[in-house]
Amino acid sequence: IPLLSLSLLLLGALYKYILHPLFLSPLRHIPAAHPTAPFSPLWSYWIRQQRRENATIRAAHERLGPVVRLGPREVSVNCVKGGLSKVYAGGMEKGEWY
């Protein structure tokens, strides 16, 4: 039974951290700012810790375009007409505080 548990744990980790980000995630088509961005947010945390976040993300946008993936669940949008206006003024439901 311990071998079965270990096998299931490894298969679950393989699915969550490799297969899902590469093949099943809805963000898989967005270009990643760093090779590890689809798998882990550690790269993003590292550049924030080094206080290089703005320059690094700007360089990624210049290199990859207006929409860049920064982590498994994090995207940066750098275009007003095609991106930000749709996100912030696109007729989406907003809370009362907005």
Determine, yes or no, domain membership for 32. yes
Count of domains observed in the chain: 1
Summarize the confidence of residues 69-73 as an average pLDDT: 91
pLDDT category of residue 17 using cuts at 50, 70 and 90: confident
Domain containing 67 equals 27-89
For the CA atoms of 8, 9, 12, 18, the dihedral, rounded to the nearest 10 degrees, stands at -130
For residue 20, is it within any domain? Answer: no
Tell me if 47 is assigned to some domain. yes
Contact 39, 18 (CB under 8 A): yes
Is the confidence at residue 96, as pLDDT, over 80? Answer: no
CA-to-CA dists, residue 36 to 17, 66, 81, 87, angstroms: 11, 19, 29, 26
Q: Is residue 45 part of a domain?
A: yes
Q: Report if residue 48 sits inside a domain.
A: yes
Is residue 5 in a domain?
Answer: no
- Does the structure show a pLDDT above 90 at 1? no
Q: Is residue 2 part of a domain?
A: no
21 pLDDT tier (thresholds 50, 70, 90): confident
pTM, two decimal places? 0.73
